[in-house]
Amino acid sequence: MHLIPVGLGDAPVDRWLPPDVRALAARLDTYIAENAKTARAFLKAVGAIHPLQDITIHTLTDKTDAAQIQGWLRPLKQGGEIGLVSEAGCPAVADPGARVADIAHGMGLAVRPWVGPSSILLALMASGLDGQRFAFHGYAPVEPSERARQLRAWEQQSGRGNQTQMLIETPYRNAAMFASLVATLRGDTRLCVARSLTTADEWIRTRTIADWKTGPAPDLDKKPTLFLYLAR
């Protein structure tokens, strides 16, 4: 089973996919995808050699049961190949794909990860925050007091262990998340905002909370954004 990353936005494929990975993605005729529509857009971008209507795309959701996934993977026992793709970025990271890799290991199948874009990793590289120790938490709680409590708990952990904390938010709630972070964290904590990575709209800044407070808030509305912070 091949784990194949897809683009993060509308950037040209030569910016984010190595040639061998592109060639592999272009020749496979069976995929497991989080979203069939974005999978077809990816197949067009890489120049699939089979007509799109001849490519099988199994759609994976949180609800897909294990027996069905095993059925999709069974042909691999006889030397078949299948690609696993996410809606954006690296499959099995911050998406339901990890279950497919887990089931493949259980069936004794080879699992091959390929190089491509991950917004989590690109944000970490560019943040200037500690890259020796970091944690990705996914989403913070939505309820305001619970959210503040969790952001502070991660801040304490960060200060104790020198651990960069990373989180994401539903894009239409990014402005609210930025406001929560600035209102909740300590003045000398450094916060990185990494927006629209790999696209023409890419924007990455790291400042202390005190500095963020003095400037205008960045425009994050409906734009995929990573938030990273490190306490002193």
With contacts defined by CB under 8 A, name the span among 7-15, 49-57, 142-150, 171-179 that binds a copy of itself: 7-15
Phi then psi for 146, rounded to 5 degrees? -65, -40
Helix axis angle for 98-106 and 66-73, nearest 10°, is 70
Coil/strand/helix, residue 45 = helix
- As separate numbers, helices (DSSP H) first and strands (DSSP E) second, the chain gives 8, 10
| Residue closer to a copy of itself (CB basis): 29 or 130 | 130
Site for a copy of itself in 10-39 (CB under 8 A): 12, 14-21
Which tokens is 206 given? 């790291």
Q: Which residues pair with 112 in a beta bridge?
A: 2
Q: Kindly identify the residues of this chain, within the stretch 149-168, that bind a copy of itself according to CB under 8 A.
A: 163
The stretch near a copy of itself (CB under 8 A) out of 28-36, 47-55, 88-96, 171-179 is 88-96
Whether the CB-CB separation of 57 and 51 falls below 8 Å is answered with: no
Query: Which single residue is written with the structure tokens 């305001």?
Result: 144
Question: What is the separation of C-alpha 47 from the centre of its chain, rounded to a whole number of angstroms?
Answer: 23
Shortest distance (Å) from residue 20 CB to a copy of itself? 4
Closest to 32 (Cα-Cα) out of 96, 94, 89? 96
Q: Which is nearer to a copy of itself, 20 or 52 (by Cβ)?
A: 20
Compute the least distance from the CB of residue 54 to a copy of itself, in Å.
27
Sketch the per residue contact string, 166 through 205, with a copy of itself: x for CB under 8 A, - otherwise.
-------------------------------xx---x-xx
Site string for a copy of itself, 112-131 (x = CB under 8 A): xx-xxxx-xxxxxxxxxxxx
- Residues that bind a copy of itself in the complex, under the rule CB under 8 A: 3, 12, 14-21, 90-95, 97-105, 110-113, 115-118, 120-138, 163, 197-198, 202, 204-207
